Amino acid sequence: MPPFPIITLLTDFGTCDAYVGTMKGVIAGIAPGCLMVDLTHEVPRQATAVAAMLLGDALPFFPPGTIHLVVVDPGVGSARRAIAVETGAAVAVGPDNGCLTPAIDGAIRVVEIRDARLFRSPVSATFQGRDLFAPVAAHIARGTPVAALGPEIADPLRAALAAPHAEEGALIGEVAHVDRFGNLITTVRVVDLAGWPGVEVEVAGVKARGLAGSYHDGAGEAGASGGAAGVPRVRALIGSAGRLEIALPDGSAAELLGAGRGARIVVRKHEHD
Amino acid sequence: MPPFPIITLLTDFGTCDAYVGTMKGVIAGIAPGCLMVDLTHEVPRQATAVAAMLLGDALPFFPPGTIHLVVVDPGVGSARRAIAVETGAAVAVGPDNGCLTPAIDGAIRVVEIRDARLFRSPVSATFQGRDLFAPVAAHIARGTPVAALGPEIADPLRAALAAPHAEEGALIGEVAHVDRFGNLITTVRVVDLAGWPGVEVEVAGVKARGLAGSYHDGAGEAGASGGAAGVPRVRALIGSAGRLEIALPDGSAAELLGAGRGARIVVRKHEHD
Amino acid sequence: MPPFPIITLLTDFGTCDAYVGTMKGVIAGIAPGCLMVDLTHEVPRQATAVAAMLLGDALPFFPPGTIHLVVVDPGVGSARRAIAVETGAAVAVGPDNGCLTPAIDGAIRVVEIRDARLFRSPVSATFQGRDLFAPVAAHIARGTPVAALGPEIADPLRAALAAPHAEEGALIGEVAHVDRFGNLITTVRVVDLAGWPGVEVEVAGVKARGLAGSYHDGAGEAGASGGAAGVPRVRALIGSAGRLEIALPDGSAAELLGAGRGARIVVRKHEHD
């Protein structure tokens, strides 16, 4: 095993209970010397598509060989499959419900995890993060090849976070996530806007023109739609993960606009003023 | 010292302050190379019995030699003793107020920690987690034997989380903890129900019959008591730590039932339908 | 590099997003084997002075050679400088906005970070924690000297947490932070009270006489101001970081008094009764 294999953990378990700590105990017992890194445990309950987005945004920033353990598992105890996904650079382990989508998109191999010798026994019907996913991730960290975990599958599920679609020349997306600062992180990515001369972004009745370079750059500020007195300082920009964001410097755009996860975003072409 | 000794941390300090991080700094200064694992820092304030329950549920999942540091310490600065508990498989360190009960139940040795040469000096009267418990845990990780910390004691305190009791053929317990999903984790354990033909669980006026196999298994669903229109989908099951839980798939049982820590649970025998 | 260099992380990012985890991925890719310790990620948004206070309170408890990474960065994307501060015992890295003040106070060298070869490329205008500060901290952990990061500067900013001032024989301070227990941590330090015969502390119209030795010591309890029926048990004491605190044993002083960050504290000399 490499000197310091990394296992990341991404769950909807929260941190009020000892669930995450217990998974780490299981991992440390199998693969001592691992570095365990929490991505977040505050994924909205059972929101597999949000988990997939957070995983995708974090993936490029971890070194080769990192193992990503994702347990957002509304179907725990049902017949849903457990899978491991191997890309050229990483392995992702979790339930087959779409939460591993970004890894699947770059996969060279997806297997159904079936080798029960790697599990804790018995496997709880309510906490497979502890009894199945954590030990499998630890065994991979110790060198078990993904191909040895079970048969390859061709039909892993992908998550339902809708890609933006075109409508009358505009791009329609939605708010995927609200971060701690109240920034609205959207499903629209910078690549979706390639070649656009400029943009006008509308959310919750407010329009922002242009893209600010940062939270403190005056461009991309909003005027109120319909010419009203204005909702100053809300601005659109491309955030650190390449997603269109709506932000309010020194405040919460989510609160000001009353907009949250699922809110509709309309992006229209707009020539630079 | 073993290559990667593990120290877990379980407190009621929360994570808004740097208290936990500061304890880790102290540990790292004494025992570099330790793996520190957070169980949780969100134990309800001064709830020693909840800390004991969370510790007990996590203990079996850590490798031999793990050191568990528990600082839920309403009596900090008073004359309460500081203790270390050695079991065959682990060591637990904390105040003598019951928070270490599960380790005490399996102890081969309990000592009062008195060797002040191991403490930071001076010892704060308000933060002995940093000045006493963290350095002692770190010294144990480095090889100091528990027996060297101070004299053995025979009367460590146990926590007051009431065991369920029998009443007119029923078992009366209570909600010990509400987890992030709103599941009601109770003081009734699977061993308390050994030999029962089947169960009916009542909480907050709602009855659930049978035990579901998982959160998604139809068994164990509740009908409203008194024949009312029904509170569908609340169900009883045995959770991952062997405790009776009341859960609402895709929702919060705690919220739906208006029931929290301390709520009364009645378990009656019930033949399978 | 030392066997287990420590990098602490102190931000206002919260833990609902994967921002902190992503920074750790970047660090682990550059400096595998580092021990990363979270101080807290719940600094109130953009509160550089609170970050400075928390950093200062934690600094003395980390071993020599620790690297402290502070990202509370309201000016991200603006022209504010990025700096590294070397003291005899530690290095601190962060934006030049006062959040590193306690390190600056003991600095032997402060440099502006300019060597872009150490950054991720391109550097995001909204998340320099990930692209600039984390990689620089990791390179320092691997042995890059602070002096190699850029030119020395003589005018780093200090944070605006007001020092207490004298007024008619009293010392006027304020509440700097409310901890998880509802304790009011103030800007008044034990050194500010050196030589005082005794104190009376007033906050939110309530006066506490004397300093309790601990949360459970009867001294330092408050009587209501003006001779009213009393607000028993609120007490003043010197907390674990050497700051004057107002605490309510078994309760929240902040809630009882309706006092939070910024509340005025008056400390008057008072002979022992």
Query: According to the model, what pLDDT value does residue C224 have?
Result: 38
Nearest 5 degrees, angle CA B75-CA B76-CA B82? 90
**Rounded to whole angstroms, how far apart are CA atoms C211 and C170?**
16
Say yes or no to pLDDT of A252 above 50: yes
What 3-state DSSP class applies to C203?
strand
Beta-sheet strands, E only, within chain B: 6-11, 35-40, 66-71, 82-87, 90-95, 107-112, 165-167, 170-178, 184-189, 199-203, 206-209, 222-224, 235-238, 243-247, 264-269
Mean pLDDT along residues B51-64: 95
Which among A37, A58, A213 is the nearest to C77, CB-wise?
A213
Mark C85-99 as b/e (b = at least 16 C-beta within 10 Å).
bbbeebbbbbbbbbb
Q: Yes or no: say if C90 and C8 are a contact pair by the CB < 8 Å rule.
A: no
Q: Would you tell me how many other CB atoms lie within 10 Å of the CB of residue B119?
A: 19
Q: Are A201 and A208 in contact (CB under 8 A)?
A: yes
Burial of B53 (0-12, 13-18, 19+ CB in 10 A): buried
The confidence score (pLDDT) of residue C185 equals 94
How far away is chain C from the Cα of B140, in angstroms, using its nearest Cα? Answer: 18
Pick from C14, C20, C25: CB nearest A62: C25
Q: Are C184 and C253 in contact (CB under 8 A)?
A: yes
- Report the candidate in B186, B179, B182, B215 with the shortest Cα–Cα distance to residue B201: B186
Give residue A258's pLDDT: 94
Q: Is the dihedral of CA C142, C143, C144, C146 positive or negative?
A: positive
Tokens 């020395």 sit on residue: C152
Q: Does B196 contact A at CB distance below 8 Å?
A: no
More confident call, B124 vs B216: B124
- The secondary structure element, H or E, covering residue C95 is strand C90-95
Chain A (226-255) residues lying within 8 Å, Cβ to Cβ, of chain B: none
**B31 contact partners, CB below 8 Å, separation of at least 6:** B1, B5, B7, B138, B139, B141, B142
Tokens of C176: 């700097």
A130 touches chain B (CB under 8 A): yes
pLDDT band at A46 (very low <50, low <70, confident <90, very high): confident
In 3D space, the residue among B93, B74, B77 whose CA is nearest the CA of residue B85 turns out to be B93
Q: Which residues of C touch B130 (CB under 8 A)?
A: 61, 240
Confidence band for B67, pLDDT divided at 50, 70 and 90: very high
**pLDDT level of residue A2 (50, 70, 90 thresholds):** low
Q: Is A4 an 8 Å CB contact of chain C? A: yes
Q: Which of residues 40-69 of C touch A (CB under 8 A)?
A: 45-46
Q: What is the helix (H) or strand (E) element at residue A186, kind and residue range?
A: strand A184-189
For residues C144 and C91, is the Cβ–Cβ distance under 8 A?
A: no
Q: Check residues B214 and C89 and name the one with the higher pLDDT.
A: C89
A104 has pLDDT over 80 = yes
Task: Quote the CA–CA distance of C242 and B35 in Å, as a whole number.
Answer: 29
Please list the alpha-helical segments (H only) found in B66-164: 101-105, 128, 134-142
Length of chain A: 273
> What is the rounded distance in angstroms from the CA atom of residue A256 to the CA atom of residue A235?
12
Helix (H) or strand (E) holding B53: helix B48-58
CB neighbour list of residue B225: distance below 8 Å, 6 or more residues apart:
B202, B205, B206, B207
**CA distance between the termini of chain C:** 57
Closest residue in A to C46 (Cα–Cα): A250
**B38 interfacial to chain A (CB closer than 8 Å):** yes
**Would you call B182 helix, strand, or coil by DSSP?**
coil
Contacts of B24 in chain C (CB under 8 A): 37
Contact B59, B90 (CB under 8 A): yes
- Which of the 8 DSSP states describes residue C192? G
- The residues that bridge with B99 in the sheet, in sequence order, are none
Nearest CB neighbour to B16, from listed C42, C66, C217:
C42
Contact between C217 and C208 under an 8 Å Cβ cutoff? The reply is no
Specify whether the CB–CB gap between C47 and A210 falls below 8 A.
no
CB B172 within 8 A of CB B266: yes
User: Would an 8 Å CB–CB cutoff place A148 in contact with chain C?
Assistant: no
Between chains, do B126 and C214 touch, taking CB under 8 Å as contact?
A: yes
Distance CA A235, CA A237 (A): 7
Task: Please check whether residue A26 touches B, CB under 8 A.
Answer: yes
**Chain A residues with CB-CB distance to B245 below 8 A:** 126
B-contacting chains (≥3 CB pairs under 8 Å): A, C
Token output for A124: 């709880």
For residue C29, the one-letter residue type is G
Determine the distance in angstroms separating the CA of B17 from the nearest CA of chain C, rounded to an integer.
6
Cα R_g (chain A), whole angstroms: 21
- Predicted confidence at residue B221, as pLDDT, reads 59
Say if residue A224's pLDDT is above 80: no
B139: alpha, beta or left? (left if phi > 0; alpha if psi -120 to 50):
alpha
* Strand order across the beta sheet in which C90-95 lies: C35-40, C6-11, C66-71, C90-95, C82-87, C107-112
For residue B10, the distance in angstroms to the closest alpha carbon of chain C comes to 15
- Tens-digit pLDDT string for chain C (273 aa): 456 799 999 999 999 999 999 999 999 999 998 999 999 999 998 899 999 999 999 999 999 999 999 999 988 888 899 999 999 999 999 999 999 999 999 999 999 999 999 999 999 888 999 999 999 999 999 999 999 999 999 999 997 667 899 998 899 999 999 999 999 999 999 999 988 888 999 999 999 988 888 877 655 556 534 333 445 578 999 999 899 999 998 889 999 999 999 999 999 998 765
Structure tokens at A186: 């959207």
Single out the residue of A73, A143, A158, A144 nearest to residue A113, CA to CA: A144
| A150-189 pLDDT tens trace | 999 999 999 766 789 999 989 999 999 999 999 999 999 9
Alpha-carbon radius of gyration of chain C: 21
Task: Give me the residue from C3, C35, C215 closest to B126, CB to CB.
Answer: C215
- Amino acid at residue number C151: P
**Could you tell me which chain B residue has the CA closest to the CA of C42?**
B16
| Among A108-122, B85-99, B214-228, the least confident range | B214-228
Q: Does the distance separating the beta carbons of A13 and B62 come in below 8 Å?
A: no
CB–CB of B32 and C61 under 8 A? no
* B81 pLDDT more than 60: yes
pLDDT at B79: 85
Query: Closest Cα of chain A to C78: distance in Å?
Result: 7
C3 contacts B21? CB cut-off 8 A? no
Which pLDDT band, with edges at 50, 70 and 90, does B77 fall under?
A: confident
* Residue contact B16–C181, C-beta within 8 A: no
Q: Name residues whose C-beta falls within 8 Å of residue A18's C-beta, 6 or more positions apart in sequence.
A: B10, B39, B40, B54, B55, B57, B58
Chain B residues inside the 8 Å CB shell of C1 = none
Q: Is A126 on the interface with B (CB under 8 A)?
A: yes
Residue A184 forms beta bridges with which residues? A178, A246
The closest CB to that of B240, out of A20, A45, A127, belongs to: A127
Of A15, A25, A125, the CB nearest to B42: A15
Bridge partners of residue B144, in order along the sequence: none
d(Cα B152, Cα B168) in Å, to the nearest integer?
A: 42
**Alpha-helix runs per DSSP H in chain C:** 19-30, 48-58, 101-105, 128, 134-141, 253-257
Instruction: Identify whether the C-beta of residue C153 lies closer than 8 Å to the C-beta of residue C253.
Output: no
CB contact under 8 A, A29 and B214: no
Size of interface A-C (CB pairs under 8 A): 94
Position A160 scores a pLDDT of 62
What integer pLDDT is reported at residue C215 of this predicted model? 79
What local confidence, expressed as pLDDT, does residue B76 receive? Answer: 85
